[in-house]
Amino acid sequence: MSSPLTIPGPPGLPLLGNIMDVNPSNTWWSLRTLAEKYGEIFKIKVLGHEIVFVASAALAEEICDETRFRKFVGGPIVEIRYAVHDALFTAYDHEESWGIAHRIIAPHLSTESVADHFDELLLCTDELIAKWTKGLEPGTKFQPLKDLNNLNLEATMLTLFGKKLGAMKMKEGEEHPMIQAMEDATSEAMRRPNRPKLLNWLLYNGKWKEATKTMRGFAAELIQYRAEHSTGRKDLLWALMNATDPETGKKLTDSQVIDEIVSMPIGSSTAPCSVTATILFLLQNPEVVAEAREELDRVAGDGALRQDHIAQLKYIQGIVRETLRLSCAAPGFNIEPIPSKNGSKSPILLQGGKYQIAHNQAMIVVLAGVNRDPAVFEEPLKFKPERMVGDNFTKLPAGVKKWFGNGKRECIGKHWAWEFLMVVTAKLIKEVDFQAVDEQYVMKQDGWFNVRPIDFYVTAKARGA
Ligand code: HEM
């Protein structure tokens, strides 16, 4: 066997490493650019730590093998434990709390449970559409992301926690304070690992603590609201407060209930980023809108959208999947080799020995590379929903279908997200005509735990008005 290839990467500076190759204000865009330059695998060094990035479908599939690899809880994920401790997203592999919370929460985010909330989701989406088509002066330019963030928070709170926030009544361009707190917390979590600890403590602890206080206070209010407005609802909030883990018989502590409540809107905030990208892709591809409207007319006609329509809207499912592929709304996830039982420190071979990494090497899957892998997709940059429908979708390699993460630590909210994306996308296509403010707009994204189109403005009116 020939010796492993050196993993490429930008040269970097003595002592500082690759600090200049990654923009701390837009880490994921820097990684996307590095993936475009270096291809399937590359590495950088920051503050003495080497990180390996995987950006091809084949390598992503290999490191998603749960017999060899697992989620790496490091960097920003460890930082955000300050706010949510050992919750689902942040728990280390060995922590018992993950299994307890997972078994309590998963049944309330199943396909069936989510379908039960269809009417609530529709109600919130109707409020958004009314705002865009009747509530704004005709020709008003707006950033769809802001209202979609409000919609997502509103829908998450109503469906999972039974509380109507009224976030759709926010003035144009304004977001609910919880959204700002999540932004502050996740941006700080991304930046802290790359700053000296003293600097974090001296200059950034105030904002960090404030964001945590707002998020945990928001969760505590939901709990109090439920306690004061007792209902027969057996929703996620009920389960968090009352249910017992069937395996250990344990319940969540009061603090753990808050940890999990805070984690849900942070996870869910990825969905509006995806819908914003859908609006952009639809504006760039009017023939896709025409085909989707034909499908909607065939399936739903002039009537209201119903839950049983969702499974029949195959082309719109293709639009949602193709958006997840190209927008990479959740931009990546972390993996590490499972430590050897006998303590071996032998290097780990990838692609049958083509590359070699250390036994404890942290890796990050960069979905902007994986999802646009030219070895899998013809014209990978084009928006083509048909490649995500029926057999075409089934035949795609597993590595390019990882927008919800992998295996045991895959997104627990994926059915909720799917329902939200399908309902909102179908309703917007059915009922709204958008126009781009800048017809030449080229997608540029930024973000922290999720990425979203920036400086993207549209106008909207009711379909055909
Ligand atoms: C388009 C929408 C969404 C995308 C693309 C997405 C993507 C992901 C990804 C890639 C992971 C794995 C992270 C990792 O390995 O570190 C994840 C985990 C998670 N997501 Fe989502 N997500 C979405 C929506 C949601 C929603 C709606 C919720 C909650 C209702 C949610 C809650 C979570 C939680 C709690 C985890 C941690 C699961 C665990 O480790 O057990 N996500 N998500």
Q: Check residue 1 and give its pLDDT.
A: 60
Q: Check residue 174 and give its pLDDT.
A: 92
Q: Check residue 329 and give its pLDDT.
A: 98
Owning domain of residue 176: 19-462
DSSP codes, 199-245: HIIIIIHHHHHHHHHHHHHHHHHHHHHHHHS--S--SHHHHHHH---
Residue nearest to atom 21 of ligand 1 (CA): 411
Q: Establish if 4 belongs to a structural domain.
A: no
Q: Establish if 2 belongs to a structural domain.
A: no
Prediction pTM value: 0.97
Q: Check residue 188 and give its pLDDT.
A: 96
Strand-strand pairing, 432-436 and 348-350: unpaired
Sequence-distant contacts of 115-119: CB under 8 A, at least 24 apart:
115/307, 115/419, 117/158, 117/159, 117/160, 117/419, 118/306, 118/307, 118/419, 118/423
> Is the shortest distance between the CB of 328 and ligand 1 below 6 Å?
no
For CA atoms 324, 330, 331, 335, give the dihedral sign: negative
Q: What is the pLDDT of residues 429-454, one digit of tens each?
A: 999 999 999 999 999 999 999 999 99
Q: Establish if 96 belongs to a structural domain.
A: yes
CA distance 425 to 434: 13
Return the percent helix, strand and coil in the chain, to nearest 5. 55, 10, 35
What is the 449 CA–ligand 1 centroid distance (Å)?
Answer: 10
> Is the shortest distance between the CB of 218 and ligand 1 below 6 Å?
no
Q: Check residue 41 and give its pLDDT.
A: 98
Q: Establish if 216 belongs to a structural domain.
A: yes
> Is the shortest distance between the CB of 267 and ligand 1 below 6 Å?
yes
Q: Check residue 14 and give its pLDDT.
A: 84
Tokens coding 251: 């319940």
Q: Check residue 405 and give its pLDDT.
A: 98
Structurally, the chain folds into a number of domains equal to 1
Q: What is the pLDDT of residues 260-314, one digit of tens each?
A: 999 999 999 999 999 999 999 999 999 999 999 999 999 999 999 999 999 999 9
Q: Check residue 15 and give its pLDDT.
A: 80
Cα–Cα separations (whole angstroms), residue 289 to 21, 314, 425, 427: 39, 14, 11, 12
What is the 90 CA–ligand 1 centroid distance (Å)?
Answer: 11
Q: Establish if 13 belongs to a structural domain.
A: no
- The residues, ordered by sequence, that sit 6+ positions from 319 with a Cβ below 8 Å of its Cβ are 278, 281, 282, 288, 292, 385, 388, 425, 429
CA distance 19 to 22: 6
Q: Establish if 7 belongs to a structural domain.
A: no
Q: Establish if 55 belongs to a structural domain.
A: yes
Cα torsion for 270, 272, 277, 280, to the nearest 10°?
Answer: -170
What is the 404 CA–ligand 1 centroid distance (Å)?
Answer: 6
CA distance 227 to 138: 43
Could you tell me which of 429, 463, 433 has the C-alpha nearest to residue 293? 429
Q: Establish if 322 belongs to a structural domain.
A: yes
> Is the shortest distance between the CB of 264 and ligand 1 below 6 Å?
yes
pLDDT averaged over every residue in the chain: 96
- Best residue among 113, 367, 411 to mutate for probing ligand 1, ranked by most atoms within 8 Å of CB: 411
What does the pLDDT profile of the chain (465 residues) look like in tens digits?
689 999 999 998 888 889 889 998 999 999 999 999 999 999 999 878 899 999 999 999 999 999 999 999 999 999 999 999 999 999 999 999 999 999 999 999 999 999 999 999 999 999 999 999 999 999 999 999 999 999 999 999 999 999 999 999 998 889 999 999 999 999 999 999 988 889 999 999 999 999 999 999 999 999 999 999 888 899 999 999 999 999 999 999 999 999 999 999 999 999 999 999 999 999 999 999 999 999 999 999 999 999 999 999 999 999 999 999 999 999 999 999 999 999 999 999 999 999 999 999 999 999 999 999 999 999 999 999 999 999 999 999 999 999 999 999 999 999 999 999 999 999 999 999 999 999 999 999 999 999 999 999 999 999 999
Instruction: CATH number of the domain at 423, please.
Output: 1.10.630.10
- Taking the CA of residue 402 as reference, the ligand 1 atom at the shortest distance is 10
